[in-house]
Structure 1
C-alpha cells in the first residue's frame, strides 16, 4: 500500500511537506543503490557517438575504445577538483570521444524486474489501478447519456425544440472527442506524465458540473456541457495507454477488454441512473448525480492512483539521483530525446501528431469503422423512447431498464473472448513476447456481423408492436454489445501494437473520429425514426454497417504490407 500511495498526488504532497522523510524511494533509503541504475552500454554510446543507439550507418570511423575501471567513484561530485580533472571520461570511467562524444551518464531500470517499472508491478497493484482507470472512464462516459433522461424536462424548462435539447448530448460528446487531441499527447511528455492530466482535468470537470446544473439559460447550459466534455476527456483515449503501460502485450487484451466494458457501461447505464432521478426531480438531478460520482472518483484517485507512464517514472528517478549524488551529468533516455525540443515543437507535436497519424490508411480505416459504430450507437439510442415509451408504454425510469440488455450482452461476451485469447492468441506470441498486430483482428470478423444482426432484429421485432413481447427487441439489442465489444477490443489492441511509440496519440485520433460521429448522428435520429419508422430506420443503419464489414478482413490480409510503407508504424513483425 505504501508503494501504491507513494506515486499518487497525496504521496507527492506528503513527500513535499515532509522533505522526503515519508514515502521514500529505495535509493533515498540506501544512498549506495544509485549505482545499480546506471546503464553502461548507453553511457558508452553517448561517450563515443553522442547518442544512445551507437554509431550511425554512415559512420565508418573506428576508434580505439579505452575503458578505465568500471567501478563508479562514490566521491564524484560536480564542481570538485576531481571532476575537473576527469572531463575526458564519464562517471562510469568511459573515455569520451572529443569530436562526437558527450559527458553523459545514462540512468535506466536496474534490470528486467525493477519494481518501479509499471510492467513489473504486482498483480494486485495492476488490477487495482486498472479498476481505477475503468471507474474514471465510466464516470466520464456516463456524463453523455445521463443527460438524455432529462431532455423532456430541458425542453419544458427552456422552451426549446427536441433537436436543440439534444445539443446538450452532442456537444458533450463533441467535447470529449476534441479534448484527447490535446490531453493525450501531453500525457506522453516525460516531464508531465499521465497523472497530472487525469487529476487536473477531473478537478475542473467536477467543478464545472455546478454551473451546468445551475444554468440560468439554454446557452449557458450548452456552453458548460461542451466544456465539461472537453475537460473530462483524457481517460477516454489515454486510459488504453495507461493499461498498455502496465501489461505486457500477451496479457494486455484482457485488461483492455475490461476497460471496454467500462466504456460500454457509461452510455448504457446513463439513462437508467438518470431516468428515475429526472422523473422525480427534473433534469438538474442528472447533473448532480454526475458530479457526486466524479467527486467520489476524484477523492479516490488523489489517494490511490499512481503514475503509470514509465518515461515519467524514469525521468523523476533521474532527477532524484541528480539531487542525491550532486552529479549533474546523469540523464535518462526520455530526457535525451526531449532536450533538443523547444516549447513550440512540443506544442506542435501535441496538436499535430494525432491528426497526422489519423491520416495513415490503417488508422483512418479502423477509426472510420469505429466512428460509424459509435455513431450508430448514439442514433440507435434515440429510438429507445420511441419503441419502449411510444409502443410498449414504459415510463421514464422503466425506459432506462431497457438498456440493461446491452449491458448483459457485454458481460456474456467476455468469457468466450477471454477463452479465445488464452487458447488461440497467446500461443502465437514469439519468444520475445511479440505478436503480429494483424493477429488481433479475427474477433472483429465476428463483431462486424453482430451489428447488422442487432439492428435488423431490434427494428423488425419492435415494428411488430405489442403483439410481440418487449423482451424481443431487448434480446436483439444484446447483439450490439457483442459487436461493439469484439470490434473495439480488436481495434484498441491492434492500434497500440501497430504504433507502439504513439499509443496515446493514435487512440486520441480514434476517440476524436468516433466522438465526431457520436455527436452528429443523434441530431437527425428523431426525424429519421419518425419519418421511416422503427423498422426501416434500423434497417437503414443495418445496411450501412454491412458496407463496412470488409475492413477488418482487408487489413488482416494486407495490413502488414501497408505498415511497411509507414514511417510511424511498427515494421519489424
Structure 2
C-alpha cells in the first residue's frame, strides 16, 4: 500500500486491514472492551480497498464483472490485532437509528423536503431569464452577452459548489452541509433583489448559484442513504429528477409575468419567500448519512462507558486538513478523471443539460420575435417540457416493473446494472434528437406556434429519461459516495450550461433569416 494511502488511516491499525466510511461490521452494538474478533460481512473489507484505490486514481479493481459491485478481497471475518483493539459500532438489521429501517412516512418527509430544496435551486436558476430586458433597461445595459451573465454565472456557481458539498456531506453529514448552503443561498437571493447595478447582480447570482448547488448534489446521496433497494432508490431519484426538470421551466414563467407587472426585483423576492417557507421543514429533517450517525453513536458510547476504544468506521480515517484537502475535496474531480463510468456519463449529461439552458436564450427569439408572444406567454412555452417530463415518469415506472418481474424470475440479464438502468437513456436519446430538429425546422411564421411548442414535449421526455437513467446508474454504482459522483456530474454539466447559452445569444440567430422579425 502506498504511503499516502496509509496517511488516511490511524497508525494503530494493522495496515493490512483497510476500513472506511461505509464499512459497517456486522457485530452487536455493545461489545465489551475485551473483544478481539469482529464478525463482518464482506463489505467490511471491500469498501476501504475501493476507497483507497479510487483516491489513488486506480479504478482497475473497483468493481467486478459488471463494473459496479466491489470485488471481495478478504474473508468474512476481520481480525483485530492487539495494537488496534478497536470496538467498531454498527447498525443491526432492525436498528431504529438505521435510515434503511425508518418508516415510510419518515422517509417520505425527508424526500419531500429534499425535493423542495431542489425546487428552490432549479426555479432560481431560471428567474433571471425573462427579467433580462428589465434589469438591462434599469442599469443601462444593451449588450445581450452581458445580459446573459446573471444566468450563466448562476450556473458557474453550480460548477464550484458541488466540489465542496458532495465530499463534505460524506465527511460531516448531509444535514449540516444542507442547512449551511441553504442559508447561504437565501442570503444571496435577497442580495440579488437589492442589486444596485449589473456587476453586483452578476456577482450575487454567482454566489447564489454556489449555495443552490448543494441540494442538486446531496439529494442523490440522501436517496442512497434511506432507500436500500435499487427499485425504491430509483423511484426516489425519479421524483428528484422530475423536480430538476420542472424547476427551470417554472423560473421563466415567474419572471415573465412578475417583471412586467411589478418589477424584475420581485422575481427574486418571490424566490426568497419560497426559500423562507422551505427553511422551517429543512431544520426538522434528521441526519441520514449512516457513517455520521454511527460516529455520533460511538461518541455517546465513549462518554457513557469511558472506553476510548469504541469507534465508528469513519473515525478510523484521519480528519486533518491535509486529508480533507487532498482526499475528500478532490474526490469528485478524481472520480471524473479516473473513473470512465463517471467521465462518459458526465459528458452525455453535460451536453443534454447545456442544450436545455440554450433554450432560455432561443425561446424568446422564437416566440417573441416570430409569434409576437409576451414574455409571460413565452415563459409558458416551457411548460411543454414539463409535460414531456410527466410522460417520462410512467415510462420509467413501466421499465421498473419489467426489471422487477425479471428479478423475480431470476433472469440473467437483470443482474447487470447496465441493463437495469441504461436502456432508458438509449430510449431518451432519439426523443432528444428529434425535439431539437423539430424546433429548428418548425419555428417560422408559416407554421403555427403550437408546432414548435409541441417539440418541448419530446425534449422533456428525452431529457428526463436520460437523466433518470444515468444519475440512477451513478448512484447505484457508488452508493456511499453517491454525493461525490453526483457532484462530478453536476459540476461538469453546469459548466456546459454556463457556456452554451452564449452560443444561442441573439447575434447568432441573426444569421437565421426565418428567426429575425420582419
2:217 aligns with 237
Q: Does the CA-based 8 Å contact 1:173-1:518 persist in structure 2?
A: yes
Match of 2:477 among 468, 487, 498: 498
Q: Does the CA-based 8 Å contact 2:351-2:493 persist in structure 1?
A: yes
Evaluate the alpha carbon distance shift between residue 423 and residue 280 of structure 1 in structure 2; reply closer, same or farther with a 3 A threshold: same
Confirm whether residue 352 of structure 1 aligns to residue 330 of structure 2.
yes
Q: Give 5+ residue unaligned stretches, structure 1.
A: 1-34, 58-93, 537-573
Cα distance in structure 2, aligned partners of 1:246 and 1:96: 30
Cα deviations across residues 171-196 of structure 1 (Å, max 9, x unaligned)?
Answer: 0011012101111100001xx20101
Q: Does the CA-based 8 Å contact 2:435-2:458 persist in structure 1?
A: yes
Q: Does the CA-based 8 Å contact 1:237-1:504 persist in structure 2?
A: yes
1:412 aligns with 391
Match of 2:509 among 514, 529, 532: 529
1:180 aligns with 162
1:330 aligns with 310
Evaluate the alpha carbon distance shift between residue 241 and residue 426 of structure 1 in structure 2; reply closer, same or farther with a 3 A threshold: farther
Confirm whether residue 399 of structure 1 aligns to residue 378 of structure 2.
yes
Q: CA deviation at 1:517?
A: 0.4
Cα distance in structure 2, aligned partners of 1:417 and 1:321: 44
Q: Does the CA-based 8 Å contact 2:168-2:329 persist in structure 1?
A: no
Cα distance in structure 1, aligned partners of 2:363 and 2:271: 22
1:365 aligns with 344
2:499 aligns with 520
Q: CA deviation at 1:97?
A: 5.0
Cα distance in structure 2, aligned partners of 1:95 and 1:510: 38
Q: CA deviation at 1:132?
A: 1.1
Q: CA deviation at 1:341?
A: 4.5
Q: CA deviation at 1:530?
A: 2.7
Cα distance in structure 1, aligned partners of 2:453 and 2:495: 27
Secondary structure at the aligned position of 1:149 is classed as coil
1:308 aligns with 288
Cα deviations across residues 32-67 of structure 1 (Å, max 9, x unaligned)?
Answer: xxx9523689953479xxx9749x99xxxxxxxxxx
Cα distance in structure 1, aligned partners of 2:81 and 2:504: 68
Q: Does the CA-based 8 Å contact 1:275-1:400 persist in structure 2?
A: yes
1:83 aligns with none
Secondary structure at the aligned position of 2:377 is classed as helix
1:205 aligns with 185
Q: Which has the higher contact order (CA 8 A, sep 6+)?
A: 2
Confirm whether residue 292 of structure 1 aligns to residue 273 of structure 2.
yes
Q: Does the CA-based 8 Å contact 2:365-2:515 persist in structure 1?
A: no
What TM-score, normalized by structure 2, do the two folds share?
Answer: 0.82
1:281 aligns with 262
Secondary structure at the aligned position of 1:113 is classed as coil
Secondary structure at the aligned position of 1:102 is classed as coil
Q: Does the CA-based 8 Å contact 1:460-1:535 persist in structure 2?
A: no
- The higher radius of gyration belongs to 1
Cα distance in structure 1, aligned partners of 2:357 and 2:79: 63
* Deviating more after overlay: 161-170 vs 314-323: 314-323
Q: Give 5+ residue unaligned stretches, structure 2.
A: 1-26, 50-77
Secondary structure at the aligned position of 1:103 is classed as coil
1:484 aligns with 463
2:176 aligns with 196
1:167 aligns with 149
Q: Does the CA-based 8 Å contact 1:275-1:396 persist in structure 2?
A: yes
Cα distance in structure 1, aligned partners of 2:298 and 2:290: 12
Confirm whether residue 247 of structure 1 aligns to residue 227 of structure 2.
yes
Cα distance in structure 2, aligned partners of 1:240 and 1:309: 12
Evaluate the alpha carbon distance shift between residue 255 and residue 41 of structure 1 in structure 2; reply closer, same or farther with a 3 A threshold: farther
Cα distance in structure 1, aligned partners of 2:174 and 2:405: 29
Secondary structure at the aligned position of 2:88 is classed as strand
Q: CA deviation at 1:301?
A: 0.9
Q: Does the CA-based 8 Å contact 1:441-1:494 persist in structure 2?
A: yes
Evaluate the alpha carbon distance shift between residue 425 and residue 97 of structure 1 in structure 2; reply closer, same or farther with a 3 A threshold: closer
Evaluate the alpha carbon distance shift between residue 38 and residue 375 of structure 1 in structure 2; reply closer, same or farther with a 3 A threshold: same
What TM-score, normalized by structure 1, do the two folds share?
Answer: 0.74
Write the mapping of 1:257-272 to structure 2, written as runs, cut at 5 A. Answer: 257-272=238-253
2:5 aligns with none
Q: Does the CA-based 8 Å contact 1:250-1:426 persist in structure 2?
A: no
1:142 aligns with 123
Q: CA deviation at 1:282?
A: 2.2
Evaluate the alpha carbon distance shift between residue 219 and residue 133 of structure 1 in structure 2; reply closer, same or farther with a 3 A threshold: same
Secondary structure at the aligned position of 1:37 is classed as coil
Cα distance in structure 2, aligned partners of 1:325 and 1:284: 57
Cα distance in structure 2, aligned partners of 1:95 and 1:497: 30
Cα deviations across residues 402-435 of structure 1 (Å, max 9, x unaligned)?
Answer: 111111111122112112102225633879xx94
Q: CA deviation at 1:491?
A: 0.6
Write the mapping of 1:447-486 to structure 2, written as runs, cut at 5 A. Answer: 447-463=428-444, 465=445, 467-486=446-465
Secondary structure at the aligned position of 2:510 is classed as helix
Match of 1:374 among 336, 353, 357: 353
Evaluate the alpha carbon distance shift between residue 52 and residue 127 of structure 1 in structure 2; reply closer, same or farther with a 3 A threshold: closer
Evaluate the alpha carbon distance shift between residue 123 and residue 426 of structure 1 in structure 2; reply closer, same or farther with a 3 A threshold: farther
Q: Does the CA-based 8 Å contact 2:224-2:479 persist in structure 1?
A: no
Q: How many correspondences in the alignment?
A: 450
Q: Does the CA-based 8 Å contact 1:43-1:106 persist in structure 2?
A: no
* Deviating more after overlay: 497-506 vs 158-167: 497-506
Q: Does the CA-based 8 Å contact 2:156-2:498 persist in structure 1?
A: yes
1:3 aligns with none
Q: Does the CA-based 8 Å contact 1:367-1:510 persist in structure 2?
A: yes
Q: CA deviation at 1:112?
A: 1.2
Q: Which runs of 4+ in 1 moved over 4 A?
A: 39-43, 51-54, 94-98, 533-536
